Structure 1
């Protein structure tokens, strides 16, 4: 079809239709993970991993004797249990330890909740599932594993996985809230209501 051969009125209609279609697509293109037709948003594993990495390293003092730190977080997703997991490098330092700091790995699984005031998807009630320490054995290893597990859970409680801006949750005059949260093998899907 040659546009020049169209009647001027038809050309204007065609131009309006094309501009209208482009205008409709522009706001949705900026919101790649949002699907307003199915009322859901999906955050990919890569997107979530990048957000988590920005918030590390983290550290906390325990009982005024130990300094426990977490770094190099790796996100895991368990669709069957509807839980997220963080595996991180763990460091425990104390003047009471002969080989200080002690290095290890901790894996923590967690439920998820939405914090409406902060517009953030957060870890909720994390639980240390696995903790391995290097170079420590016997009762010292048991004590340090308990300390490491408690502090890792405290450090990850409420950790933000994804935060939303007011603009992201607003289309036209409609402002969406986050509803059900579903963990998938390759991301996390939230319902928009």
Structure 2
């Protein structure tokens, strides 16, 4: 009897990793990051998502042709109870109208999540500024700048990619999976493969 080896495709590598990982590690498969085709789910860890988000910053946008608002140093937060992700970032508002320009601060934005099938990406959806603190500005100026900062931060984060998938990652053998339900956990985000 002759035994021939089959070429190792990316799909077979993932399957082997899943099998070996489950056998070697005495940890439930749901606790492991990555694809689990036995339970039809993928889990992205907080660290993996944080790395992906950091690559897409800094971002900036002009507002009303007067203000330049920028975000940098994003930190990911996960709210399992609310099934939402949050981004806390350093905020900068610059304008020739400001005596102390640029104004620095911190903004926290929470967001629902959605899957964009056309780009195979997990994205922020309808982000909402929950907290915005500015340094060195008070009174009406602070209120006005907080409104500007909140609006622009929400616009900058709308549709922001948390995780992209390749076609190879979503294919096992002849089956190509789609992403279904999205569940935020305390230490990562789990998506259903269907």
> What is the TM-score of this pair, normalised by structure 2?
0.87
Which is helix-richer, 1 or 2? Answer: 1
SS for the counterpart of 2:105 is strand
1:5 counterpart residue number: none
Shift of 1:30: 6.0
Give me the whole-angstrom Cα distance separating, in 2, the residues matched to 1:27 and 1:84.
Answer: 27
The reply on whether 1:26 has 2:13 as its aligned counterpart is yes
2:92–2:104 Cα contact (<8 Å) kept = yes
Q: Any unmatched runs of 5+ in structure 1?
A: 1-8
Give me the whole-angstrom Cα distance separating, in 2, the residues matched to 1:179 and 1:160.
Answer: 17
Distance change in 2, residues 1:29/1:147 (3 Å): farther
1:140 counterpart residue number: 141
Shift of 1:66: 0.1
Shift of 1:49: 0.2
1:109 counterpart residue number: 110
> What is the TM-score of this pair, normalised by structure 1?
0.87
Give me the whole-angstrom Cα distance separating, in 2, the residues matched to 1:27 and 1:123.
Answer: 27
Give me the whole-angstrom Cα distance separating, in 1, the residues matched to 2:16 and 2:128.
Answer: 38
Q: Any unmatched runs of 5+ in structure 2?
A: 19-32
Q: Deviations over 1:47-87 (max 9, x none)?
A: 00000000000000000000000000000000000000000
Structural mapping, 1:13-52, within 5 Å: 26-29=13-16, 33-52=34-53
Considering only CA atoms, is the larger Rg found in Structure 1 or Structure 2? 1
